[in-house]
Amino acid sequence: MSVIDPPLPRTSAVPMSRRTRRMMWRGFLFAAPAMGLLLAIYIIPVLVLAGFSVTDYQLGALSWGFTGFDNFARAFSDPVFLRALGNTALYAALVIPLGVGLALGVALLVHGRKRSRALWEVAYFLPVTSTLVAMATVWQFLLHPSLGPVNAAFRALGLDPVAFLADPHLLIPTMALMGIWQVLGFNMVLFLAGLTAIPKDLLEAARLDGAKSPLDRFLTVTWPMLGPTTMFVLVTTSISAFKVFEQVAVLTKGRQGSETLLYAIYLEGFEYAETGYASALTLIFLALVLIVSIGQTFKLDRKVHY
């Protein structure tokens, strides 16, 4: 004869005490200002943007109509937008690897300095503190075909002057050079912080285990330990590269061959007053940046050693 255990009595949910409820409300009140700012600055504008993107609204118009996804279909058949998309992709393909790789190389060199380290840190970080609009004007003078010192050096070497800002094939590489110069100092400081956090005992242990050359120690210890820093630098540099705008606005005014996504959105929204179409382009831009950032994070996170 089997003995059947009696069923366990039902336990009613323990009522929340008055003190617990009071603490929860206090926590909500502390978080309410930040939540309100997040709602007002990010969430509501994106919802309004999504609403405008499915209309034919023009800036200042008193009436508009619902168009569905016509603005998105128009974007992928618009030659200007497609050219801007390709130019932005080329710009990012130049700035991201060079901006990250050169910053790592400079950080390794500066990290090895003793007395002059502070001087080099300030020198490389100065471009970060300057406004890109002002510095774009300086670059415009430096690269001027007749007055600029760069072409003056070319002529002194017996070479023909180069129209960096007039040749459509050189516009994006020239602006990418400015973008690399702009992000180099900030990325270098981040890599310096990562290098400083690496315990010297690991490097010494690697040397005793047979990693005699600095390259061997870099590949076996330094590079793996810089994984979290590299991932952060790569994601932030990618976002900055896709947001290129100032160079185009100051140097070329969107001349054919230099269009980028943000400048195309600016023209449609503020110059041509096509608010609905500009909203659709903005959503496409946000989706591209989000896909690239999340893709990089998930792909690199598997290889990062924390």
Amino acid 23: pLDDT: 87
Phi then psi dihedrals of residue 274, to 5 deg: -90, 75
How far is the C-alpha of 169 from the C-alpha of 190, rounded, in Å?
Answer: 33
In a domain, 62, yes or no: no
3-class DSSP assignment, residue 66: strand
Residue 149 lies in a domain: yes
Which residue range forms the structural domain that includes residue 128? 80-301
Q: Is 17 among the domain residues? A: no
Q: Return the amino acid letter for 252.
A: T
User: How many Å apart are CA 124 and CA 183, to the nearest integer?
Assistant: 10
Give the chain's domain count.
1
Task: Tell me the pTM.
Answer: 0.84
Count the residues in the chain. Answer: 306
pLDDT tens per residue, range 121-163: 888 888 888 777 788 888 888 888 888 898 899 888 888 888 8
Residue 16 lies in a domain: no
Domain-located, residue 227: yes
Check whether 20 has a pLDDT greater than 90: no
Give me the amino acid identity at 188.
M
Bigger pLDDT: 170 or 6?
A: 170
What does the pLDDT read at residue 304? 72
Q: What is the CATH number of the domain that holds 105?
A: 1.10.3720.10
Mean pLDDT, residues 20-31 taken together: 86
Average pLDDT over residues 173-194: 91
Q: Check whether 1 has a pLDDT greater than 50.
A: no
Helix, strand, coil % in the chain, rounded to nearest 5: 70, 0, 30
Residue 101 pLDDT more than 90? Answer: yes
- Gap between the Cα atoms of 261 and 284, Å rounded: 10
User: How many other β-carbons are positioned within 10 Å of the β-carbon of residue 145?
Assistant: 16
Of 221 and 187, the one with more pLDDT: 187
Segment 266-275, tens digit of pLDDT: 999 888 888 9
- DSSP code of residue 114: S
pLDDT digits (tens, 9 = 90+) for 191-210: 998 888 888 888 778 777 77
In a domain, residue 124? The reply is: yes
The torsion defined by the Cα of 246, 250, 253 and 256, in degrees rounded to 10, comes to: -70
Nearest in space to 136 (alpha carbons), one of 287, 266, 244, 209: 244
**Confidence at 281, pLDDT banded by 50, 70, 90:** very high
pLDDT at 10: 55
114 domain residue, yes or no: yes
| Residue 149 CA: distances (Å) to CA of 118, 123, 141, 169 | 29, 21, 8, 21
Domain assignment present for 11: no
Taking 70 as the threshold, does the pLDDT of residue 5 lie above it? no
